[in-house]
Amino acid sequence: MSKSPLTLHRNPKFRAAIVQAALVFLVFYAFYSLYQTTVFNLEERGIRTSPSFFDQVAPFKVGFSPFLDFELGTTTYIKVFYIGVLNTLLVAVLGIIAATFLGFFIGILRSSNNWLAKKVALIYVEIFRNMPLLLQIMFWNFAIFLAFLPPPKQSLEFGSFFLNGRGLHTPVPIVEHSLLFKVWLGVVILSILLSFIFRRWAKIRFNNTGKSLPVLSISFSFIIIISISAFYILGQPLTVDIPVLGKFNFKGGGQLPLPLFSLWFALTIYTSAFIAENVRAGISSVSKGQIEAARSIGLTRSQMVKMIIIPQSMRVIIPPTISQYLNLTKNSSLAMAVGYEEVVAVWANISLNQTGQALIIIAMTIIFFEFCSLFTSFILNMYNKRIQITER
Amino acid sequence: MSLNSNKFERIPDRLPPINSIGWVAWVKQNLFGSVSNTLITLLFFYLIFLYIPPFLDWAVFNANISGTDRSVCDDNKSGACWTFVKVRIEQLLFGLYFTLNPDQTWRPILAFIVFACLLIPLVIERTPHKKWLLLTLIILYPVFFVSVVGGGVFGIPESDASQWGGLLLTFALAFVGIVLALPLGILLALGRRSKMPIVRSFSIIYIEFWRGTPLITILFMASVMLPLFFPSGVEFDKVVRAMIGITLFQSAYTAEAVRGGLQAIDKGQTEASMALGMGYWQQTIFIILPQALRISIPSIVNTFIALFKDTSLVSIIGLLDLLKIAQNSSRSLDWNGYDIEAYMFAGLVFWMFCFGMSMYSQKLERKLDTDRNTE
C-alpha cells in the first residue's frame, strides 16, 4: 500500500469521519437541549415528568373495554393505556378481516371479464380511495348511521346480529367449562397441525408420483369434522350468548358501540379500495404467456387458477396488502372524531389533558405504533425472504 | 393485372358473421359470455336500477338550490338541500376572515387563479421552460400567496392565519407540506443511500420513525409539545404548528419516493460522472438527481394525494379546514340536519383534486414506462 497522495482534508475517509462526528454532535445536542427545555417548561407549569402517575386513579370514564374491566374510581391510568391499546387492536383486527374479504372480492370483480362488473368495481375504488378517510368516518357515523338507524325496538336483523342507533349487538361465545374448553382447543390445534403434515406428505407424493389430492377440501373437512365431534363429545364446553330484545334494550350478547361500528365500516370500505387495487395489479401481473402455457399443457381452469395464477399473483398482492394492514391500524386513530375509545383518544388526548404528562404519554403512544410498524416490517421481510427462496 | 382480370375474378371478402363484430359481439363477449357472466350482469343491472335513479332524484332532479334559508329545503324533503352549500360557500372555501370581510374575497380567488395558471402549463406535456415554471411555483408563489392572502403589505389589510379556513387552509397546509418536505426528503433519501454508516442510520431512523406513527399523533405532538420544546416566549400559531408537524411527517414519505427514483438510476451514470472527475455534490446535482426526480414524480404525486387527504386531520386539533367547516355548518342552528349535503360537498371537492392528481400520476407512470421500453 503506497501512502495516499491526498492531503488530510481531501481524504474521503477523514472527511466522512468529520461529517459524521459533526452530525452525531448536532443531533445529540439538539435532543439534549429539547429535553432540557421541555422538562423545564413542564416544571414551570407545575408538572414533574415522572411515570408515577401510572398508579393514580383515572378520573374519567372509559365506556368500552371488552377485555379488561373498567371501574370508575379504581382503574388506574396505566390500565387505561392497556384498554386503549386493546381497543385499537380490536378495531384493527376486525377491520383487517373485513377489508381483506371485501378488497379481494372487489379486486376480482375488477379483473373479471364482465364489463359491467369491472366498471362498477372501478367506480367503487376511485370513489373511496380518493376521499379523506376522516370524512368518510364522519359521513357514515353522523350523516348516515346516527341519523337513519332505528331505535333498539326496530333493530335491523342480520341472523343473530342486531343493528340499531346504539350499535351492533352480537352473539358472544361463553366458556362454560374452562378445562374442557382448553382440551377442545388442543384438539382443534392438533387437527390443524395434522392437516399441515398431510399437506406436506401430499406435496412430496405429488412431486414423486405426479398424483394430486384435493388437499384443501380434505384438510378443511377433516378439521371441521374433528372439531365439531370433539365439541359434542366433550359436552359443549362453549355456549353462545345471543342478544335478546328486552323491554327497552337488548339483554345478553355483546355490543359494539356505534362509534366502533362506524369506524370499522369506514376503515373496511376505505382499505378495501386499496386492497382491491393490489389484487387487480397482482392478477394482471401474471403474464399472458403463463395462462397460454397452462392451457396448452391441458390444465383445467380450476387447476390453472390454483397452480398458476394464485401462486404468482399472491407474490405481488401480499407485500403491499400487509402495508395496508399497517395503514389501517394507524388510521384507526381517527376514531377520536367519532368518540371510540382507542389509544390515541383515551391516552394521548384525555389522559394527557388530565395529567399534563405530555412527554411520557406521547412517547408511549408513539412507541406503541412504532412497535406495530416494526412488527409489520418483520412479517414483510420474512415473507419476502420466503418467496425469494422459491424464486428461480 | 387487367389482362388476367377476366380469368381470375376475385371474390370480395365476406363480412364476418354479425355476432362476431360490432356491438353485438362486444355485448356478447363482455356481458353475456357465459351463464355466470350473464347472472353477474343481470345482478349488477338490477342493483344499478335499484339505487342509482333514487339517488339521482335526490341529488339532482328534486334538489333545492333556490332561496337563502332552510325554509325551501324543509318544504321539499325529497331532494338534497344544495341551498345550504350555496349560502355557506364562502365560508367553506375561504374560511372565517373572508366571510366576515366579503370585499376581500378577491384575494384567495386571485391566489387560486394564479396557482392554476402556473400549474396547468406544468401538467401539459409540451410546455417549454418547465423548470423555470416549477421553480416559480415552489419559490415565488408561496411569497405571493402569503402577501396576497395574508396581507399586511402593499396596503392590503392583514388577515391572521388563524382565521384562514375551508379549502384555503387545506390548500395552504398541503402546499406548505409538499414544498418544504421536498428538499428535506431529497436530503434524507440521499442520506439513506450514503456510504457513511452514521448518516445512513440516522436517515433510516428518521424516516421509519415518522412513517411508523399516525399523523394524528404527530399533530397532537405538534400542538401540545411544540410549545414545550422552545423556551417560553417563543409562540407559534396553531396553523404554523400544524404545518411543522405535516412537513416533518411528509418529508419521510417524500424521501421514500425519491429513494425509489434514485434506486432506478443505472450505476453507470455514477461511474461515468466519477470518471469525468466530478465530486459527490456535482454528480448528485447535475447527473443523478435530475434523472431520479423525473422518475419519482409519480410517487411524489401519490404521496401528495395522501397528504392532501390527510390535511383533513387538522380538524381534530381544532383547525377549521374544509371538513371541519362543513361539519360545523351542518350543526349550526340554521342548517341543523343537513349533514349529508355538507359531507358530500366537502367529499366532492376533495375527490376532484385527488382524482385529478391520481389520473395525472397514472398518465406519467404509463409514459415513463413506454419511454423506458422504447429506449
Contacts of A126 in chain B (CB under 8 A): 355, 358
**For residue range B344-358, what is the model confidence (pLDDT) as tens digits?**
888 999 999 999 888
Nearest to A131 by CA among B347, B173, B359: B347
**Cβ–Cβ of B340/A334 closer than 8 Å?**
no
**Cβ–Cβ of B30/A114 closer than 8 Å?**
yes
Burial zone of A356 (CB within 10 Å; 0-12 exposed, 13-18 middle, 19+ buried): middle
- Substitution target in B77, B192, B220, B317 with the highest count of A β-carbons within 10 Å is B220
Q: Measured between CB atoms, does A78 come within 8 Å of chain B?
A: no
pLDDT score of A5: 59
B340 confidence band (pLDDT: 50, 70, 90) = confident
Tell me whether 0.95 is exceeded by the ipTM: no
Q: A227-235: long-range contacts (C-beta < 8 A, 24 or more apart)?
A: A227/A184, A227/A187, A227/A188, A227/A191, A230/A184, A230/A187, A230/A188, A231/A184, A234/A180, A234/A183, A234/A184, A235/A177, A235/A180
pLDDT score of A122: 92
**For residue range A9-64, what is the model confidence (pLDDT) as tens digits?**
777 788 888 888 888 899 899 888 888 888 888 787 777 777 777 778 878 888 78
Which chain B residue has the Cα nearest residue A131? B351
Higher pLDDT, A87 or A160: A87
Quick check: A154 and A236 in contact, CB under 8 A? no
d(CA B179, CA B243): 11
Q: Measured between CB atoms, does A19 come within 8 Å of chain B?
A: yes
- Provide φ and ψ at A167, rounded to 5°: 150, -165
Q: In what helix (H) or strand (E) does residue A239 lie, and over which residues does it extend?
A: strand A238-241
pLDDT score of A124: 92
Least confident of A198-202, B13-17, B60-64: B60-64
Spell out the CATH class of A77-171+242-390.
mainly alpha
Helix (H, G, I), strand (E, B) or coil at A172: strand
Q: Measured between CB atoms, does A116 come within 8 Å of chain B?
A: yes
Contacts of A142 in chain B (CB under 8 A): 327, 339, 343
Nearest to B303 by CA among B222, B249, B239, B364: B249
A173 confidence band (pLDDT: 50, 70, 90) = confident
**Cβ–Cβ of B33/A358 closer than 8 Å?**
no
**Cβ–Cβ of B315/A134 closer than 8 Å?**
yes
Quick check: A376 and A318 in contact, CB under 8 A? no
d(CA A271, CA A294): 33
pLDDT score of A3: 54
- Residue ranges of A 178-217 with Cβ closer than 8 A to chain B: none
- Provide φ and ψ at A169, rounded to 5°: -95, 130
A273 confidence band (pLDDT: 50, 70, 90) = very high
Quick check: A155 and A164 in contact, CB under 8 A? yes
Please tell me the distance in Å from B323's CA to the nearest CA on chain A: 7
Average pLDDT, stretch B55-74? 77
pLDDT score of A389: 56
d(CA B109, CA A237): 69
**For residue range B221-239, what is the model confidence (pLDDT) as tens digits?**
888 778 777 776 677 778 8
Q: How far apart, in Å, are the Cα atoms of A245 and each of A15, A160, A172, B344?
A: 76, 11, 15, 35
Quick check: B252 and B180 in contact, CB under 8 A? no
**Cβ–Cβ of A20/B350 closer than 8 Å?**
no
Q: Which three cell numbers stand for residue B255?
A: 424521501
Q: Of A116, A142, A330, which has the smallest distance from its Cβ to B41's Cβ?
A: A116
pLDDT score of A73: 74
Average pLDDT, stretch A237-258? 75
pLDDT score of A60: 80
- The DSSP string of A37-106 is HHHHHHHHTT----GGGGGSBP-S-----SSS---TTT-BHHHHHHHHHHHHHHHHHHHHHHHHHHHHHH
Give me the CATH code for the B159-374 domain, please. 1.10.3720.10
pLDDT score of A211: 78
Q: How high is the mean pLDDT of chain B?
A: 82
**Cβ–Cβ of B40/A114 closer than 8 Å?**
yes
Average pLDDT, stretch B183-209? 89
- Substitution target in A11, A15, A27, A114 with the highest count of B β-carbons within 10 Å is A114
Instruction: Collect all residues with Cβ–Cβ distance below 8 Å to A262 and sequence separation of at least 6.
Output: A137, A140, A141, A145, A338
* Residue ranges per structural domain of chain B: 4-61, 159-374
pLDDT score of B221: 84
Q: Is the pLDDT of residue A392 over 50?
A: no
A351 confidence band (pLDDT: 50, 70, 90) = confident
Q: How high is the mean pLDDT of chain A?
A: 84
Q: What dihedral angle (degrees, nearest 10) is formed by the CA atoms of B63, B64, B70, B71? A: -110
Is the four-CA dihedral B159, B161, B164, B168 of positive or negative sign? positive
d(CA A313, CA A301): 16
pLDDT score of A132: 92
Q: How far apart, in Å, are the Cα atoms of B244 and each of B184, B206, B220, B236, B250?
A: 12, 15, 12, 10, 10
